[in-house]
Homo-oligomer: A and B are copies of this chain.
Amino acid sequence: MGLIVQKFGGSSVANTEKLEMVGGHIRKEVENGNQVVVVVSAQGKTTDRLIAEESEITKNPVKREHDVLVSTGEQITISKLAILLNKMGQKAVSLTGWQVPIVTNSEHTNSRIRYIDNHKIHEYLSAGNVVIVAGFQGIDENGDITTLGRGGSDTTAVALAANLKADRCDIFTDVDGVYSSDPRMVENVMKLDTISYDEMLELSSMGAKVLHNRCVEIGKKYGVPIYVKSTFEKDSIGTLVADKEPFEDLVISGVTKDDYISRITVVGLENKIGRTYQLFKLLAENLINVDVIVQSFGEHITKDIAFTVKMNDLGKTLEILEENKESLKIEQVLHCENLSKVSIIGLGIANKPGVASDMFEALYENNINMHMISTSEIKISVLVNSNEADMAVRAIHGKFFGK
């Protein structure tokens, strides 16, 4: 007898009909002789609706109370699903975050899980129940309701799987796995059978909205095999996210694109210890998220630093730099708008020579200019003009996966 954690997102539980499909997936695992713990999100647009109602009162709610409000969404789903399963003849109980309990720190709207007490879950499982846990929510040590922030239900599912030492964690969603690129952009995308945690981390932080980073990190740390599957296909095999040997198959796992990026170049920053720190600390204090940073300098008195921020942070960033030009001892600030970051991801990158040059060749053949390059062990990113980005993705995908 195994123990499986299944997670169903908002679109998978949006209405009664869809809940019945979910019921089918659960029953199948029970019939396979497994114990099943289910994690669900709020139904469809429920959370959006609650937040819209809240913003009628204020755009700036007390965070403690915001968590009390939005956590009702998942509570509605767990009870409905438990009612459905019992009607189907399958014993089931629901548990809210505080009932499990899933204990978090007190950072409302963006809490981290501290520990999970699984006694109650095991008790209910032993009594023959499917246990349905509300995703996204927890309780802090003060007894207050907390929520986990973006990707919260995925995080709940994988954390529970780790804590319960589950055989696997199935993340059901509206796609049937992880693809080599965005099918809306690239023809002949390839569904990946497996992908490593590290590759998935790079993919999920870069716009492939399949799994949230936090859950992949937990999966990696505790070695939880995560399957990404489709709720709506009957026998979806999906993609397995797990530890993987780097050489085995593909050089790269995927090509991704991230839009609305601007590049800022700080020219002539005083080349003195602490100046760079001072610069980025200032941006961090103003809650500006800096992505890629590239620095090049030799033995000069000044250095140049280029970095990227989201387009909607550009104005504020330029303002801050202008205001602090003197204290930071900057000569000049340049910027470039409407860029996209195109990246390839793969464990093979570090070990296969020529991957970067293959990527650059694909761009060269299509006459696409690169505004910045940055590389890591398993990723190469380039900045290109946004109007050439889709072409860039297609060209690179064709180069590595065949047309």
Contact = CB atoms under 8 A, between A and B. Distances in A.
Copies held by the complex: 2
A54 B86 CA distance: 13
B54 A83 contact: yes
B83 A79 contact: no
A215 to B, nearest CB: 25
A58 B75 contact: no
A143 B97 CA distance: 12
Contact of A57 (B19, B50, B57, B120): B19
A60 B96 CA distance: 22
A75 B76 CA distance: 11
A99 B143 contact: yes
Contacts of A82: 62, 64-65, 68
Interface in A24-75: 50, 53-54, 56-58, 60-62, 64-66, 68-69, 71-72, 75
Interface in A254-313: none
B96 A76 contact: no
A157 interface: no
Contacts of A54: 80, 83
Contacts of A53: 16, 80
A172 B142 CA distance: 31
Nearest to A120: B143
Given A19-B57, A72-B75, A65 B86 contact: yes
A62 B86 contact: yes
B57 A83 contact: yes
A130 interface: no
A98 interface: yes
A200 interface: no
Given A16-B56, A57-B16, A80 B69 contact: yes
A48 B76 CA distance: 14
Interface residues of A, number: 37
A78 interface: yes
A341 B61 CA distance: 51
A56 B87 CA distance: 12
Contacts of A83: 54, 57-58, 61-62, 65-66, 69
Contacts of A79: 65-66, 68-69
A93 interface: yes
A373 B109 CA distance: 62
Most buried by B among A53, A79, A86: A79
A190 interface: no
A385 interface: no
Nearest to A19: B57
A84 interface: yes
B50 A65 contact: no
A239 interface: no
A94 B68 contact: yes
A353 to B, nearest CB: 57
A76 B50 contact: yes
Nearest to A76: B72
Nearest to A43: B53
Given A61-B87, A120-B143, 8 more contacts: A16-B57, A54-B80, A57-B80, A61-B86, A69-B79, A69-B83, A72-B75, A99-B144
Interchain residue pairs A-B with the least CB separation, the first 5: A69-B79, A68-B79, A72-B72, A65-B82, A61-B83
21 contacts: A19-B57, A57-B80, A57-B84, A58-B87, A60-B87, A61-B86, A61-B87, A62-B82, A62-B83, A62-B86, A65-B94, A66-B83, A68-B78, A68-B79, A68-B94, A69-B75, A69-B79, A69-B80, A69-B83, A72-B72, A72-B76
